[in-house]
Structure 1
Amino acid sequence: MSPETPKGATLNTGSRARDHLANERTYLAWLRTGISMAALGVAVAKFASGRGLHAVASGGILILAGLLIAGYGTYRYRAVGRQLDAGLYAPARFALVTATTLITLLALIAVVVLI
């Protein structure tokens, strides 16, 4: 590597750079979704205040779901990054289905609590 190469950089061979950039875009999509879910929780807690404690509980559940989405996205981003660095890739079938199921259940519980 030349002296101009940034520290920690590796050669772009094959689709290495493209794969890492795709991983970053996917991570940002997970973060955007988590932030949106948390913002929805804040909005529910703030603007459905006429429902009292139910609105606060529902908003809290949605905020928790948003944090879980962002947390899973961070975990997945790091795991895929390590796999790509090693020249491997293993799809997250079980973890993805589990995360999706958990987030969906939390959202449904938040709706039921709000009603």
Structure 2
Amino acid sequence: MIDKFQDHASNERTYLSWIRTAIAIAGFGIVIERLPGTPNGTWTGLALVISSAALVALASLRFIFIRRQIERSDPGRSMFGAIEILFASMLAMLLLTVFVFLIGLARGG
């Protein structure tokens, strides 16, 4: 049995859920970009795809950091709060991007 398997499995499940979220955001960006007659659809789609790539990078950093922390059994000093603030701000920017797109869609057609 792997030492601290439960902790490692939990960390991996969290990582995979962030990856699924990023894939869904990228897919939504591609759909928006391909919609005919949408104002600023290309820029909104591109922003969502780039944001999803940044989300994958942040999720990967978090996964590696937590994995090292589990292996060292060091629950002390961590930058976990900073990573969570980055995740929250990234999701807020994604929601703002979608909101701006929907307002533009309502006004432009």
TM-score (norm 2): 0.80
- Where do 4+ consecutive residues of structure 1 move more than 2 Å? none
Deviates more, 1:64-73 or 1:84-93: 84-93
Distance 2:8 2:96 in 1: 34
CA distance in 1 between counterparts of 2:65 and 2:26 reads 24
How does 1:21-40 map onto structure 2 within 5 Å?
21-40=9-28
**How far apart are the structure 2 equivalents of 1:45 and 1:95?**
29
Of the three residues 70, 77, 82, the one matched with 1:84 is 70
- Report the structure number with the largest CA radius of gyration: 1
Q: How many residues align?
A: 101
Q: Are 1:61 and 1:110, in contact at CA under 8 Å, matched by a contact in 2?
A: no
Instruction: Give me the TM-score of the superposition, normalised by structure 1.
Output: 0.77
Indicate the structure with greater helix content: 2
Is 2:58–2:83's contact at 8 Å kept on the other side of the alignment?
no
Name the counterpart of 2:37: 50
Gaps of 5+ in 2: 105-109
Q: Percent identity at matched positions?
A: 24
